[in-house]
Structure 1
Amino acid sequence: MRLWSLHPRHLDRQGLTGCWRESLLAQAVLAGRTQGYRAHPQLERFRAQDAPLAAVGAYLEALAEEATARGYRFDRTRIDEAPGHGPRPALIPVPDGQLALEWEHLLAKLEQRDPERWQRERLLAAPEPHPLFTVVPGPVASWERATR
């Protein structure tokens, strides 16, 4: 499961659709609808929120917005707690070390899967975070299992 801290605009088609599927799975885990992945470390930052389902709903909504901008149709009715149905979740801190690790990870994937996108993305000075996250100084997150 990879719930990217990066803005969805950086993801290629496979990354965006994969993140959508995995985020829906994360939502199902947080809602108690599935037994699998309950201990997945990527869920720690959502569980730490006052309203975990609202946080994952905001995460999913940003993915759906990017999909719409690209002409894809993600089924927003699958979002349990879509933004606008209660208080907006607080921004979740993401360490700049975590964002850098994910950026390296994504660039390696793009180089193989989408060389044209890789050429554009690798020239960016710094990636943007997902709208649910705010960047703070710090190392790779404690929940991260990937290595550099």
Structure 2
Amino acid sequence: MRLWSLHPRYLDRQGLTACWREGLLAQAVIGRTSGGYSNHPQLQRFRGSDDPLASIGSYLHGIVDEADARGYRFARDKIQRPGNVSGLPVTDGQLDYEWHWLGAKLASRNPSWKHRLSHVETPDAHPLFVVIPGPVEAWERVER
């Protein structure tokens, strides 16, 4: 499961679609309608919020807003608790890590999309998140 901290505008079609599906899975896990992935580390940041279901709802809104802007049709009504949450923290180290990871994925999967992003020096975060200084998040599975 990859719930990108990066703004959805950077995801190619495959990435945006996968993020939507995985966000819906995360919503099911957080809402306890699914037992799979219940201990997935990326869910920690949503579970640590005051209202985890509203937080994942806000995350999904960011994804579906980007899909709408591109003319894709994602089913907005699948969002269980449309929240107006913002300000969950994400570190600049996490964004940098994800930016490089996305670049590597795009280099093999969609080089033309990667080229479209070549002007971006510092990527924006998903609208749910506020960027704070720090290393890669502790929940991220990387070799440290």
Question: TM-score range with shorter-chain normalisation?
Answer: over 0.9
- Give the corresponding residue for 1:65: 65
**Amino acid aligned to 1:82:** P
After superposition, give the CA deviation of every residue in 1:76-124 in whole Å (9 maximum; x if it has no partner): 11000113xxxx3241110100000000000001111111111121331
Q: Residues 120 and 147 of structure 1: is their aligned pair in 2 closer, same or farther, counting only changes over 3 Å? A: farther
Can you give the 5+ residue segments of structure 2 that lack an aligned partner in the other structure? none
**Amino acid aligned to 1:29:** V
Query: Post-superposition, which runs of at least 4 consecutive aligned residues in structure 1 deviate over 4 A?
Result: none
**Amino acid aligned to 2:93:** G
Give the fraction of aligned pairs with identical amino acids, expressed as a percent. 56
TM-score normalized by structure 1?
0.94
Matches within 5 A, 1:35-54: 35-54=35-54
- Give the corresponding residue for 1:130: 126
TM-score normalized by structure 2?
0.96
Matches within 5 A, 1:1-148: 1-83=1-83, 88-147=84-143
Alignment: residue pair count: 144
> d(CA) in 2 for partners of 1:31 and 1:104?
31
**Amino acid aligned to 1:91:** G
After superposition, give the CA deviation of every residue in 1:118-143 in whole Å (9 maximum; x if it has no partner): 11213311111000001100000000
> d(CA) in 1 for partners of 2:143 and 2:3?
16
> d(CA) in 2 for partners of 1:36 and 1:11?
25
Can you give the 5+ residue segments of structure 1 that lack an aligned partner in the other structure? none
Q: How far did 1:144 drift?
A: 0.2
